[in-house]
Amino acid sequence: MLTPPGLKGKQYRVTGTSYPRLVPPNKRRRRITALVSTVLAVALISWGTVQLAGVFGGKGRKLSAAACPAPSPSASRAAAGTFPAPGPVPSPKAVTVNVYNATAKSGLAGHTADELKRRGFRIGKVGNAPASLDKKVKEAVRLLEGRAGSRAAALLGAHVTGARNTADARKDGSVDFVIGDGFKALRTPAQAAQALAVLTRPAPKPSASHC
């Protein structure tokens, strides 16, 4: 086969069915490689764009909302540090307290009842805790109340550190003040007033931040 003058036959070859179709082999491979690389780059950019749109669009908001369960009312009240229901703070003289001793230490119920009485609370029953609670209360105080006594129990809780509230089926507004193993003493009147101020402050507005 004839080589056109000046093309140096060792560097080029004749390909195809027509003459003179002259293509440098190395240059052709470079073109194919560049084309494949371009296609892959475009595909990766398109995929990344779709992912970003999903994160910053409605799909991301729906997923984050589904992943953040709504807090329970009791958890919300605990986080806010507020009374369980809106309304005036009950006065101690309007709260009937039954004081029970669930520990092995004698005299705690009577002594604590006397102190609560000096602070204005109305004292009901005083004595040992019922068998269901006797020697079984590990926290400082267990406050038992019905729905009508929830605010009274919150007021009592301001007078002691480490109280735990438990709801029962009683219909009146009385509260059982059950002394447990963790009890040391009541808060001072000044400390109780400070704790009550925290309880009665306005609840913070819910934040729009993510969970």
> Which domain-ending residue is among 52, 68, 84?
68
3-state SS, residue 96: strand
Residues 63 and 85 in one domain: no
By C-alpha distance, which of 94, 97, 121, 101 is closest to 189? Answer: 121
Can you tell me the distance from the alpha carbon of 151 to that of 85, in angstroms, rounded to the nearest whole number? 7
Give the count of beta carbons closer than 10 Å to the beta carbon of residue 122. 13
What is the helix (H) or strand (E) element at residue 179, kind and residue range? strand 175-179
Q: What is the pLDDT of residues 79-126, one digit of tens each?
A: 445 566 666 889 999 999 999 999 999 999 999 999 999 999 999 999
Q: DSSP per residue over 122-173, as a string? A: EEEEEEEPPTTTTTT--SSEEEEE-GGGHHHHHHHHTTSTTEEEEE-S--SS
Tally of domains in the chain? 2
Can you tell me the distance from the alpha carbon of 139 to that of 83, in angstroms, rounded to the nearest whole number? 21
The β-bridge partners of 31 are none
Residues 177 and 82 in one domain: yes
Q: What is the pLDDT of residues 11-40, one digit of tens each?
A: 555 555 555 555 555 666 777 777 767 767
> Which domain-ending residue is among 21, 50, 68?
68
pLDDT value of position 65: 45
Residues whose CB falls within 8 Å of the CB of residue 142, separated by 6 or more in sequence, listed in order: 102, 133, 163, 164, 166, 176, 178, 180
Retrieve residue 63's tokens: 């997923």
| Residue reference for tokens 């970003």 | 52
pLDDT value of position 35: 72
Q: What is the pLDDT of residues 129-183, one digit of tens each?
A: 999 999 999 999 999 999 999 999 999 999 999 999 999 999 999 999 999 999 9
Range of the domain at 43: 1-68
Can you tell me the distance from the alpha carbon of 96 to that of 85, in angstroms, rounded to the nearest whole number? 19
Residues 42 and 134 in one domain: no
Asked if the structure places residue 209 within a domain, the reply is no
Retrieve residue 132's tokens: 């269901």
Asked if the structure places residue 169 within a domain, the reply is yes
Ranges 4-8, 28-32, 79-83, 194-198: which has the least confidence: 79-83
- For residue 29, the Cα-to-chain-centroid distance in whole angstroms is 59
pLDDT value of position 88: 80
